[in-house]
Structure formats: structure tokens, C-alpha cells
């Protein structure tokens, strides 16, 4: 008898509960001032869509002259709203953040200032944008900083711990390697950190194994060649690749009793991993040679091609010499503090100056790099005659850790 009454109760209660749940998921018709929408209903079920447009002199608060909104769990995906045509909607700027307006849009004349994400810097020193007649003027962009680093180098028998993968790291970033079980860095430690400094990673660990004869410092089998692999790290001037190493800038690495004249070239696959060079990359891979190119702000120095020798060693590799100047804006009171800026040798760029009052706008210092030395002009407006703006130049000592020039 009890079970019969329970069943009757559930039949009555469940439909009511489902109806209440369904009503909670519904959206009420939006209140749209200065606009209209279709279809017109009193309530809209979950996942229902409506399309709306605005009257003359107004526009939707999203991109386009008409817009669509979706009912999601009792709330519209964006609240349908019409704003003045001269107002601006929030811009989309990659790798940047800025303070969003509480209303969801910006009135004409509003100014936003963006902050670039870590590892990025303002392109052309533009950090602000102004809403003018419904559009943004001089919308800022964030480009990769010259002082940022790409992903840390791969280390055999080691992983990076405590950090999700990312392909760009800001200057000063730290990552920690940890050797796999059975491998150590110096026979004792299993962890070591490396740091991003001026666009390069400091020396990383070498996880050695000691798992019997025929195992090198990285734990890979050498296999009866009679040669002991070189270190190829820590500024020793060598490049290690595959089964052999060869000094950078001269000399050769050969097995015992072999004359250099007897060494012949072999297909590059015979030498294993391709050698890498700081601030450069491989741009052409052929059966018998490799070609490299340097990154922006660096000049190519050394052989045009790199070949593999028959003894498993690489020929001399090129290097990339820095050809740029840097300006640390933190060290100049008249400049807007925005980190370190880089200028190619023989070129110039404009750096934003500190705003002195509300009328002080669009003032910049002309910066030029000549033979590794920086010259800065006085802060001037775009409206100032160019000859007057660049008339007074102050000579600055190079702010780079490069020994290219001396006083």
C-alpha cells in the first residue's frame, strides 16, 4: 500500500519539478531601447536565439550592424543593447590586457592604455588608443620582446617540472629541470634551474647515467668508436651533435691515429642531431650540408655551409654577432618607463616621453643607433618642426653587455 502511494506521489511531483527546472532555464524577453529584435516572445527556452538591430544613430554593443544573442541557463549570452554610433566596443588586442569599461563599451573620447603580456612589448611604443567617432585610433599592438626566450632547450633524460608548456618566456624567467630516475647532474644532484637572460637561456643540466661502459654523459650509447664525447656546453666553444664534437672556430675532432686530410664529407644524417647556434636557425637542409641564418638584430659570421665529416663530426659552425643598441627606459627620467628597447645598428625609432600635463600628448624622443652607440633627441611633439626636434642630441654610452666598442 505504501509503495502504491509513493509511486503516485512521484508521478505528481516529478512533472512539477521538471517544469520548475525548465522555467528556471528560460530567458525573459530583453528590454532593448533604440532597437528591435526577432522573434518576439515573452520567454525563450534554453539555447534559443534572437537577432536584433538598432535604430539610426545607434548600433549593437558588439561587432556588426546586427547581432545575435543566445539564451544560456536563463541568461542572454550577451545582453542585447544599442549604443551610440560614436561609441566604441572593446577592442581585441592579442597578448595584451587593458581595463574594461563597466558598461561594456566606451564613449567617444575615452582613452585606454594596454599592458603587454610577459614576454611582449609595445610595438612602435604605442600603448594607448582613443575612441574617435566609433573607432579606435592607433590601436596598440604587442610584439615579442627581444629579451624574451623561446621554449627551454630539450635535455636528454630530463624534464621541466612545476610548469605547463609555453613557447615564450619573459626575461628573468626560471625553469627547473629534473633528471629521470637513475641519472644525476654531478653524481649527487638531480635538479637544476636555468634562466632567461637577454633572449638566451643560461647553461642547463647534463643528466649523466653511469649505467655501464659505452654510455656518455647524456646516457646515450657511444658504442666502440674509441672516442670520448666532448662536453659542448658551459662556454667551452664546442658544439656537440650526435656521435662527435668539433671545436667552433677552428680545429677538428678525429679518432686516434686519423689524419685530418683523410676525413671526407658524409651525408648530414651520419652526424646525428644538427648543431644549433645562439640567435640563429637552420634555413636550408640538404643531403650534404646545412645553411644557417641569424635572427633580427644579429649579423652572420663564419662559413656559409656546415657539413658532416666521415668520422661523425660537424665542420665549423657560424655565429651570430649582435648588431644593435639597447635603451633601458627605466634609466631616463624623460622617457616613459617601458622596459628595454632595441634598435638596429644604422636605424632609429621613437620612444614615448613622460606626460608632463594633460596637454602634453604624442611627445617622443628620436633614438638612433650608430656603430653600437645610442643617441637620443630632446622630447618633441609630432607637430614640432623636424629640424628643431632633432637639433639637440645627447650622446649615450651603449647599454648592452657587448664589448664591441670602447671609449
Q: Which CATH architecture fits 22-84?
A: Ribbon (2.10)
Q: pTM of this prediction?
A: 0.43
Partnered with residue 282 across adjacent β-strands are 292
Q: Which is higher by pLDDT, 180 or 217?
A: 180
Q: Per-residue pLDDT tens for 148-161?
A: 999 999 999 999 99
The pLDDT value given to residue 24: 63
Give the rounded percent of residues in the chain with a pLDDT score beyond 90.
17
The pLDDT value given to residue 323: 80
Cα–Cα distance for residue pair 381/403, rounded to 1 Å: 35
164's grid cell: 605547463
The answer, yes or no, to whether residue 171 has pLDDT greater than 60, is yes
CATH number belonging to domain 237-250+263-321? 2.10.70.10
Q: How many helices and strands in the chain, by DSSP H and E?
A: 2, 34
The pLDDT value given to residue 358: 53
User: Lowest-confidence range among 123-137, 234-248, 259-273, 384-398?
Assistant: 234-248
Q: Which of 351, 257, 277, 354 is nearest to 317 (CA)?
A: 277
Whether the Cβ atoms of residue 113 and residue 131 lie closer than 8 Å to each other:
no
Output phi, psi for 244, to 5 deg.
Answer: -150, 165
Give the domain ranges of the chain. 22-84, 96-144, 237-250+263-321, 324-396
Distances from the Cα of 219 to the Cα of 33, 161, 241, angstroms:
71, 20, 14
CATH topology match: 22-84 vs 237-250+263-321: yes
Alpha-carbon torsion angle 6, 11, 15, 17, nearest 10? 10
Collapsing DSSP to helix, strand or coil, 372 comes out as coil
Q: Per-residue pLDDT tens for 284-316?
A: 888 889 999 888 778 888 998 899 988 889 999
DSSP string, 52-102: EEE-TTEEESSSSSEEEEEEETTEESS---EEETTSBPPP--TTEE-PPPT
The number of beta carbons lying within 10 Å of the beta carbon of residue 97 is 11
The pLDDT value given to residue 179: 93
Whether the Cβ atoms of residue 350 and residue 125 lie closer than 8 Å to each other:
yes
Which top CATH class is 96-144? mainly beta
Whether the Cβ atoms of residue 170 and residue 196 lie closer than 8 Å to each other:
yes
Q: Can you give the C-alpha Rg of the chain in angstroms?
A: 32
Amino acid at each position: 500500500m505504501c509503495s502504491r502511494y509513493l509511486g503516485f506521489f512521484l508521478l505528481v511531483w516529478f512533472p512539477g519539478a521538471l517544469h520548475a527546472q525548465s522555467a528556471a532555464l528560460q530567458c525573459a524577453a530583453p528590454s532593448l531601447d533604440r532597437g528591435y529584435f526577432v522573434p518576439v516572445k515573452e520567454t525563450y527556452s534554453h539555447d534559443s536565439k534572437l537577432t536584433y538591430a538598432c535604430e539610426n544613430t545607434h548600433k549593437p554593443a558588439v561587432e556588426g550592424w546586427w547581432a545575435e544573442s543566445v539564451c544560456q541557463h536563463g541568461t542572454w549570452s550577451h545582453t542585447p543593447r544599442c549604443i551610440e554610433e560614436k561609441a566604441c566596443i572593446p577592442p581585441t588586442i592579442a597578448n595584451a590586457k587593458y581595463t574594461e569599461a563597466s558598461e561594456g563599451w566606451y564613449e567617444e573620447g575615452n582613452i585606454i592604455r594596454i599592458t603587454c603580456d610577459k614576454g611582449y612589448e609595445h610595438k612602435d611604443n604605442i600603448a594607448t588608443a582613443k575612441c574617435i567617432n566609433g573607432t579606435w585610433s592607433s590601436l596598440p599592438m604587442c610584439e615579442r620582446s627581444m629579451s624574451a626566450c623561446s621554449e627551454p632547450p630539450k635535455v636528454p633524460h630530463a624534464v621541466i617540472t612545476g610548469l605547463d608548456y609555453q613557447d615564450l618566456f619573459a626575461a628573468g624567467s626560471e625553469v627547473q629541470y629534473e633528471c629521470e630516475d637513475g641519472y644525476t647532474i654531478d653524481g649527487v644532484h638531480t635538479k637544476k634551474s636555468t634562466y632567461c637572460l637577454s633572449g638566451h637561456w643560461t647553461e642547463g643540466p647534463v643528466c649523466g647515467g653511469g649505467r655501464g661502459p659505452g654510455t656518455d654523459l647524456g646516457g646515450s650509447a657511444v658504442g666502440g668508436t674509441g672516442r670520448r664525447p666532448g662536453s659542448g656546453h658551459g662556454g667551452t666553444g664546442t658544439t656537440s651533435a650526435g656521435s662527435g664534437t668539433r671545436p667552433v672556430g677552428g680545429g677538428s675532432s678525429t679518432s686516434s691515429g686519423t689524419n685530418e686530410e683523410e676525413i671526407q664529407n658524409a651525408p648530414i644524417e651520419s652526424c646525428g642531431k644538427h648543431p644549433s647556434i645562439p640567435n640563429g636557425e637552420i634555413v636550408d637542409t640538404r643531403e650534404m650540408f646545412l645553411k644557417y641564418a641569424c635572427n633580427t638584430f644579429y649579423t652572420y659570421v663564419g662559413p656559409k655551409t656546415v657539413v658532416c665529416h666521415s668520422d661523425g663530426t660537424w665542420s665549423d659552425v657560424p655565429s651570430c654577432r649582435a648588431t644593435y643598441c639597447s635603451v633601458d627606459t627605466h634609466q631616463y627620467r624623460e622617457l616613459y618607463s617601458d622596459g628595454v628597447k632595441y634598435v638596429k645598428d644604422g636605424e632609429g625609432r621613437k620612444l614615448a616621453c613622460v606626460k608632463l600635463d594633460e596637454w602634453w600628448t604624442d611627445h617622443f624622443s628620436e633614438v638612433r643607433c650608430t656603430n653600437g652607440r645610442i643617441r637620443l633627441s630632446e622630447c618633441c611633439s609630432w607637430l614640432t618642426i623636424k629640424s628643431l626636434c632633432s637639433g639637440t642630441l645627447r650622446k649615450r654610452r651603449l647599454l648592452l653587455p657587448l664589448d664591441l666598442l670602447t671609449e
